[in-house]
Amino acid sequence: MLFSMLKKIIQDKKQYEFYITAKKVGEKTIHTFYVNPKEKSKAKHLFKGSVVFDDEKKLILETNFAFDPDRKKYNTPINKIVVKADIKDIRFESKYMVSEEFYHPSYAKRTIDAIANSKLAKIDNARINNQAYFYVLSADKTTKRPSQNIIYNSGNLYNNGNKYTVEFWKNAKVINLVE
């Protein structure tokens, strides 16, 4: 889902090399775009991964990127005025569904692992491990649009987050999800 990150990687031709493969799946041909850091590159925070796409419809079907394990030794801590962060790993993946009516994300996962130090906040070697998931279980086509007043004036995120009409976390499709 991070198209801006993908664009940044593709535009960095000095640090990365690219190649594409194609595979016949039923009637369609699916292409896979691979991204690898160049052999001589010693830049920090370089990613390795792939993008599966449908060249005919010009749609991305799947992405999978993470720090290149061979290049992690070049990753040095990031020093800012307030904090010093040592990012150990970043990984993101996503999948998209294509049907007659829709093209929408169906799954996304982003993982960040870091160590933070800050004298100002009195933090010493605090381990940060964040995993964010996104699932779409179904989609419906509608012509209705929500009122802007409702969207922008409906309270804060905490209040809106407690107004569940469906207890989606008890859905059998969600409970049994495993990696």
Strands 78-79 and 84-98: antiparallel
pTM: 0.72
Q: Would you list the domain boundaries of the chain?
A: 3-175
Q: List per-block mean pLDDT (blocks of 10 residues) for the chain, which spans 179 residues.
A: 81 92 90 93 90 91 92 86 88 89 88 89 87 85 73 59 68 62
